[in-house]
C-alpha cells in the first residue's frame, strides 16, 4: 500500500455511538472485553463477537436475563461502545503476535476472554457475520478450549464463502486512496439512502445500531484491513475447521445482501452432524436485530443438556 494512502487511512475516526454500561471493561491488545454486571446468580455465560463495522451492543438486548453472564468483545482498533467505565489492564492479558485488524488477532482476544472470564460452565459463544469467522479461527487456534462450549454462528463469514454480489459491485472500483472519501460520503448521506437496500426492513434498534456503522473503527485503515483480511480468510480457510466444533448452530437468514447466502449454506453443509443448520425467516443479514425469536434457548447448551 502506498505511504500516501496509509497516511490518509490512519486519520482518526471519532466515536459516534455508545450506551450506558454497568460492568468491567478490560483492554486486551488493541481490543477490549466487557463483562456486564448481572443481578441474579449466573446460570449461563454468553460471549458475543460482533461483526464488521458493528459494536458489542448488537447482543445486549438479545441476552437481557439477570441470570446470564454477558461477556462482549470489542475487536481490535474498534471504539469501545460504553459510557461511564474506565478500561483496566487485566493481569491475564498476553501479547498477541498477529497483525491487528485481522480475524486472527481478534481470535486471540476471544481465546484470552474464554480462558479467563466465564463464571459458569454453561458457555455459549455467539458470533455475527465476521464474528463467526473470528470464532472459527479461535477454535482452530485452541480447539480444546471449546470442548464444552456451544457455538452460534449467525449469518457468518465462512470458509469458501463470498460477499454478496451487491457488496462486491460496490467494492470492486474502490482503491485504497478512495476509502476516506467514500466513507465521508456515506457518513454525510442519510442512512435511509442505502439502509433498506443492504439492511432490509428497519426497526428502531436496527436504526440505532446501524446508523453509525462507519464510525465503529478508530481509523479507515482498520476498515480496509478488515475487508481484505476477511476475503483472504474465506479463501484460505478449509471447512475442516468445523470438525473441531463440538456443539453448534448456523443461523442463516432468508435474505442476505451483505454475504452470499448460497455459498454460506454450501459451506455450512460441509460441517459434521453435531452442528445444525437453521434457515430462519429473517429478512436481512442482521437476524438477531430483526427478531430475538431466532436466538436459540439455553436448553441447547451442552452442560444444560447433560444435566
Collapsing DSSP states into helix, strand and coil, what is residue 64?
A: coil
What percent of the chain is predicted at pLDDT more than 70?
A: 90
Residue 184 pLDDT class (50, 70, 90 cuts):
low
Residue 173 pLDDT class (50, 70, 90 cuts):
confident
Residue 40: the pLDDT is 86
**Distance, CA of 167 to CA of 259 (rounded, Å):** 8
Residue given cell 468445523 in the structure block: 242
State residue 56 phi and psi, 5-degree precision. Answer: -65, -15
Q: What's the whole-number average pLDDT of the chain?
A: 91
Residue 214: the pLDDT is 82
How would you classify the pairing of strands 68-74 and 23-28?
A: unpaired
Q: Is the pLDDT of residue 194 over 90?
A: no
Mean pLDDT on 79-103: 96
H or E element that contains 301: none
Point out which residues pair with 219 in neighbouring strands.
Answer: 12
Residue 186: the pLDDT is 67
Residue 193: the pLDDT is 52
How would you classify the pairing of strands 149-154 and 123-128?
A: parallel
Residue 253: the pLDDT is 98
Cell numbers standing for residue 204: 428502531
**Distance, CA of 215 to CA of 86 (rounded, Å):** 21
**Distance, CA of 108 to CA of 28 (rounded, Å):** 9
Residue 84: the pLDDT is 86
Q: Taking phi first (over 0 means left), then psi (-120 to 50 degrees means alpha), and beta for anything else, what does residue 50 get?
A: beta
Greater pLDDT, 134 or 177 = 134
Q: Could you tell me if 80 and 21 are in contact, meaning their C-beta atoms sit under 8 angstroms apart?
A: no
Cell numbers standing for residue 233: 480468510
| pLDDT single digits (tens) 141-156 | 999 999 999 999 999 9
**Distance, CA of 79 to CA of 93 (rounded, Å):** 19
Q: Could you tell me if 250 and 276 are in contact, meaning their C-beta atoms sit under 8 angstroms apart?
A: yes
Residue 284: the pLDDT is 96
Collapsing DSSP states into helix, strand and coil, what is residue 207?
A: helix
Residue 307: the pLDDT is 47
Greater pLDDT, 274 or 159 = 159
Residue given cell 460471549 in the structure block: 47
| pLDDT single digits (tens) 6-62 | 667 788 889 989 999 999 999 999 999 999 999 889 999 999 999 999 999 999 999
Could you tell me the pTM of the whole model? 0.94
Mean pLDDT on 82-98: 96
Q: Is the pLDDT of residue 305 over 70?
A: no
Amino acid at each position: 500500500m502506498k505511504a500516501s494512502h496509509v497516511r490518509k487511512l490512519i486519520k482518526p475516526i471519532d466515536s459516534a455511538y455508545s450506551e450506558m454500561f454497568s460492568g468491567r471493561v478490560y483492554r486486551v491488545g488493541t481490543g477490549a472485553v466487557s463483562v456486564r454486571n448481572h443481578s441474579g446468580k449466573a446460570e449461563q455465560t454468553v460471549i458475543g463477537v460482533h461483526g464488521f463495522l458493528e459494536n458489542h451492543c448488537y447482543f445486549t438486548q438479545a441476552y437481557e436475563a439477570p441470570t446470564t453472564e454477558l461477556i462482549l468483545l470489542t475487536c481490535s482498533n474498534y471504539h469501545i461502545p460504553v459510557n461511564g467505565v474506565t478500561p483496566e489492564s487485566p493481569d491475564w492479558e498476553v501479547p498477541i503476535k498477529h497483525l491487528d485488524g485481522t480475524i486472527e488477532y481478534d481470535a486471540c482476544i476471544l481465546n484470552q476472554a474464554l480462558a479467563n472470564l466465564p463464571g459458569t460452565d454453561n458457555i455459549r459463544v455467539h458470533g455475527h457475520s465476521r464474528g463467526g469467522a473470528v470464532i472459527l479461527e479461535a477454535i482452530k487456534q485452541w480447539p480444546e478450549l471449546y470442548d464444552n462450549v456451544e457455538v452460534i454462528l449467525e449469518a457468518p463469514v465462512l470458509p469458501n464463502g463470498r460477499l454478496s454480489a451487491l457488496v462486491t459491485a460496490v467494492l470492486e472500483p474502490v482503491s485504497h486512496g478512495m476509502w476516506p472519501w467514500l466513507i465521508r460520503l456515506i457518513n454525510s448521506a442519510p442512512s435511509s439512502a442505502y439502509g433498506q437496500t443492504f439492511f432490509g426492513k428497519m426497526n428502531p434498534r436496527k436504526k440505532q445500531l446501524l446508523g453509525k456503522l462507519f464510525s465503529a473503527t478508530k481509523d479507515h485503515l482498520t476498515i480496509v484491513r478488515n475487508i481484505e483480511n476477511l476475503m483472504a480468510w474465506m479463501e484460505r480457510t478449509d471447512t475442516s475447521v468445523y470438525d473441531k466444533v463440538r456443539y453448534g448452530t448456523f443461523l442463516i437468514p432468508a435474505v442476505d445482501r451483505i454475504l452470499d447466502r448460497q455459498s454460506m449454506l454450501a459451506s455450512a453443509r460441509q460441517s459434521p452432524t453435531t452442528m445444525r443448520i437453521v434457515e430462519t425467516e429473517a429478512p436481512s443479514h442482521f437476524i438477531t436485530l430483526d427478531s430475538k425469536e431466532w436466538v436459540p434457548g439455553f436448553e441447547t447448551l451442552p452442560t444444560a443438556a447433560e444435566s
